[in-house]
A and B are shown apart, each in its own frame.
Chain A
Amino acid sequence: MAEFLLEIGTEEIPDWMIEPACEHLERNFLAALEQADLHAGVTCTTHATPRRLVLVAEGVKQRQVDKDEVLTGPPKNIAFDEKGNPTKAGLGFAKRTDVEISQIEVGQDSRLFVKKRVLGRPAGDILGEVIPDVIEKIHFPKTMYWTAKTGPRFIRPIRWLLALLDGKVVPFEIAGVAAAGLTQGHRRLGSANIAVGGWSDYQQQLSENYVLLSAQQRRERIEKLANQLVPSGLRVRKNDKLLKTLGYLTEYPTPILGGFETEFLKLPEEVLETVMQHHQRYFAIEDENGKLQPRFIAVANLDGDPDGEIQRGHERVLRARFNDARFFWDVDQKRLLADRVADLDGVVFHAELGTYREKSKRTAKIVHEIGSALSLDDSTRQYARRAAELAKCDLTTEMVGEFPELQGVVGGLYAAHQNEAQETADAVYDHYLPVGPDDAVPRGLAGQLVAIADKLDTLGGFFRADMMPSGSRDPFALRRAAYGIIRILIEGKLALSIDRLCEVSGAGDKSGDLREFFVDRLRYYLRDVRGYRYDEVNAVIKASSDVPLDVALRTEAISKVRPTPDFEPLAVSFKRIENILKQAGGVNKYAKQSVDPALLAAGAEADLHAAVESLREQVSSLKQADEFVAALTAIASLRPAVDKFFDDVLVMAKDATIKNNRLTFLAHVLTEFSTIADFAEIVSG
């Protein structure tokens, strides 16, 4: 069993592409081994820094197992003529297989065949052939060529390749770079062209040359040293995303503490944080109460800053950035947000969907419609309306010009500063939410309203213009918009129907498509985010999908009642009822008729009827009160009576009238109790 070590040495790979690249590398490698039948018993791990993707595999077979191979040739009557002499075809096969024609056997299917012993090849030879492809097939979101137009493509130029099988170089070449047994240390702290013997030597050499190969180790070093730097009573503001980024921007990270003038703390924390974390990739520092402090942690790709030069450099850059931000704030205050509404005439939302001025007007109108549909109080509706007018005005500010990621937030801050109502300011601030899966929905009702309306207008517009997402292409992030609306409706407990939303969306004759799009996002939310089982989601949506909040409550109820003993057996019986009715001409046919109680047989049938009648009122009022768990528990209590019915009663009675009445009765049971969920969709077991 052999050890294989591969290091792809590149110029700096974008930090966010590194982990997916490692996954592809491992997958491609294992697939190639499997193809070559060398995969059994192999364990494989990957590591990476900005300059290297590394794979190490243990337990690689030294060579392939020898195999018997059967080569089939032409039929006997084609390989030989009538006189039994070999034809051209026969001789050809003999030549191809390198066996005398006289030695070739004929199989039971009357075709010629040759059995050959194929000797397994050494793993080193095979790896040398397949590794270039393993490397070149690593998927990156954007690739380049660097030797010539016809050359290989990769994320950044490949500058060295290390490939060792048990310490021996596996020869291959990519873009003029030949694999060898050399690695490179840290750009400034390590040596170049370091000879490597194998995996354990490699690790040793890297650590001596200031490369921490493990991303986890780099992150730990950042966290540990940063915590040591922070003065007592203060702490590093947690930011895992930034930590991950910095781990992949460095090979030997060293945190450096810096500070800035307290006067900048007068700027909004959102702006300070954005400058530090997004633009400069610094950690913010806070006190025990979470209050921002005039300090930061920068992370250098170096071993230290003995004379404080790096610290001073970062401080100067930050000061310039904060000065800019303060300048933007002051300039922006010279014109109120409210006075910028007309400027939105000059800001295009999308060539086919008009300007932001037009969008704002449509959004305000949708806010009004939804506000009425939800019968919200006047003041909330007014805050929301005002917020809808102002929401996009920050697009014309210097601050958003410089920090586009703060759109919405800046508008909210300015609105508050300019004495708009706090509810209005919050609604402007929050109206892009939720953006990411971890984002909260807007905190207030007015914000929720504006957030829904803004997204709904976007969806309606793009759907009407026939620019819906297809496959993985969703350039306008419409899935995110629809998903955001679903989340706000459910998490904000707004009982608004999808039909109503589509009606006011402006999607026009594409409303049907938009409706399906919403239901699809609703399914995604319930299944993939909330984790409900797919059949539960199907059952509930089949019963009705119109009000997402209601769908979510019903799904939750199903998942709670499902483990109780009566539930799944009852679902099985409902499925049976549905099948019987389908075969007899369809549920609807019978559901339209009424049951004649006089025709019901005494015993199981009459008992079930009585049970159903006594439950009907109860279930209906529980449903009215959104007491879905209680309603479902009540329905599940029908199980003994249903079981008894199927044990004792023959549905397809000989008497046509009785049979018809029975089917009608069953159709009523089914439809009556399938409005919370269509039990027939539940897959038991």
Chain B
Amino acid sequence: MQTYQDIILKLKSFWAEQGAIIQEPLDIEVGAGTMCPETFLRVLGPKPYRTVYVQPSRRPADGRYGQNPNRLYKHMQLQVILKPSPNDIIEQYMRSLEAIGIDLRRHDFKLEEDNWEAPTLGAWGIGWQVMLDGLEISQFTYFQQCGGIDLEVVPVELTYGLERLTAFLQNVDSVFDIQWNETWTYRDVRFLDEQQYSVYNFEKADVEAVRNEFEIHEAESARLITEYSGLEDPKEQARFPLLPAYDQVLKCSHLFNTLDARGAISVAERAAMIQRVRKLAVAVAGAWMTQQEVVG
């Protein structure tokens, strides 16, 4: 049997062999691997890049106190970015499945239309959901736009839903029954997180405090972006902290999700807050593009 960590190790090393950098997860809460600067900022501009990383992805509203066999507050996404996308990318992706022991001669593999879009990031792409014997195991996307910017070079993003994939390979019905390694199950490792964060997000989060936090991070990001846009000296521009400005955007996004899960956001406010986060994300992306030109 392949354990959860076997699968992660094999996928990472498969993509490392294709020239991808093995990155470690971003140490800020995000809702999806796409939001990490390793994807969001790296796909901008003409420079080639290849990376693979596992990103814990937190979606407060998806928490089920650890009681639902398939739904998690925090799931692990294996994210691959290849920029530019190679011509044989589908064949490469299929080989990555073979690398974790899926014999595609004995399984039904289909690519079904599914175009991805993330309004808060001003990002979208064209692609498929990858279906294996009727189970969606991956999202396969050719990015077209990110941070509201048409991409010069088209990157491909492959995301693997690690828990689902492992449950499929280990033939278990609940992700909590996955063997993480020979000794411990997913439940042993993660149940308390699921339970406690569900309690926090749905019941305990201090709405006022979270709201204040959102505003502090929003203001900090906006302050930096404004300061950057006033710079004229290329040396100052080149060393300006846009990465920290983007961190603030990610914090806003997560805090917004927390408020949303807590039921603290009215419908009208919801659209407005998404717009506020998007505005910052788009501004950072635009600034990043100009900074890259200066940095060269």
Contact = CB atoms under 8 A, between A and B. Distances in A.
B192 interface: no
Contacts of A31: none
Interface in A208-251: 249-250
B108 A310 contact: yes
Contacts of A146: 85, 142, 154
Nearest to B103: A309
Contact of A149 (B135, B150, B271): B150
List of 8 A-B pairs having minimum Cβ-Cβ separation, nearest first: A313-B133, A14-B113, A300-B108, A144-B126, A12-B111, A317-B134, A314-B134, A348-B267
A176 to B, nearest CB: 8
Interface stretch (A52-60, A320-328, A442-450, A634-642): A320-328
A249 B128 CA distance: 12
B265 to A, nearest CB: 10
Contacts of B153: 148-149
B151 interface: yes
22 contacts: A11-B111, A12-B113, A142-B115, A146-B85, A146-B154, A148-B152, A187-B109, A249-B112, A280-B134, A300-B108, A302-B108, A312-B133, A313-B108, A316-B168, A316-B171, A317-B134, A317-B135, A319-B173, A323-B69, A327-B68, A346-B266, A346-B267
Contacts of B87: 157, 159
B132 interface: yes
B90 interface: yes
Contacts of B104: 188
B62 to A, nearest CB: 12
B144 A309 contact: no
A259 to B, nearest CB: 14
Given A11-B111, A298-B108, A310-B106, A144 B94 contact: no
Nearest to B271: A351
Contact of A318 (B69, B125, B134): B134
B250 to A, nearest CB: 27
Interface string B101-143: 0001111111111010000000001101000111100000010
B70 interface: yes
A646 interface: no
Nearest to A16: B113
A327 B65 CA distance: 14
A316 B137 CA distance: 14
Given A310-B106, A317-B135, A144 B268 contact: no
A313 B142 contact: no
Nearest to A14: B113
Interface in A319-362: 319-320, 323-324, 327, 346-348, 351, 355
A305 B107 CA distance: 8
A17 to B, nearest CB: 8
Nearest to B270: A348
Given A14-B113, A147-B154, A310-B133, 18 more contacts: A12-B111, A15-B113, A144-B125, A144-B126, A144-B144, A148-B152, A157-B87, A188-B104, A249-B110, A250-B110, A256-B108, A280-B134, A298-B134, A305-B106, A309-B133, A310-B106, A310-B107, A314-B108
A145 B144 contact: yes
Contact of B69 (A300, A313, A320): A320
Interface in B59-95: 68-70, 84-85, 87, 90, 94
Interface residues of A, number: 48
A156 B106 contact: no
Contacts of A187: 90, 94, 109
Contacts of B94: 187
Contact of B152 (A15, A149, A307, A319): A149
B106 A309 contact: yes
Interface string A279-317: 010100000000000000010111001110110111011
Nearest to A176: B87
B154 A309 contact: no
A327 B174 CA distance: 15
Contacts of B111: 11-12, 50
A348 B107 CA distance: 43
A117 B171 CA distance: 76
Contacts of A318: 134
Nearest to B151: A149
A52 B8 CA distance: 34
A442 to B, nearest CB: 29
Contacts of B105: 188-189, 302
Interface in A517-560: none
A323 B64 CA distance: 15
Contacts of A307: 106
A420 B287 CA distance: 59
Contacts of A256: 108
Nearest to B64: A327
Contacts of B126: 142, 144, 156
B208 to A, nearest CB: 20
A316 B133 CA distance: 9
Interface string B132-176: 111100000010100000111110000000000000100101000
Contacts of B110: 12, 249-250, 301
A188 B110 CA distance: 11
A324 B70 contact: yes
B149 to A, nearest CB: 10
Contacts of B142: 144, 146, 157
A581 B169 CA distance: 86
A188 B90 CA distance: 12
Contacts of B168: 313, 316
A313 B135 contact: yes
Contacts of A149: 150-153
A138 to B, nearest CB: 16
A326 to B, nearest CB: 12
Nearest to B88: A159
Interface string A132-174: 0000000000101111110000001101000000000000000
B147 to A, nearest CB: 15
A305 B135 CA distance: 16
A313 B134 contact: yes
B268 A313 contact: no
A658 B146 CA distance: 83
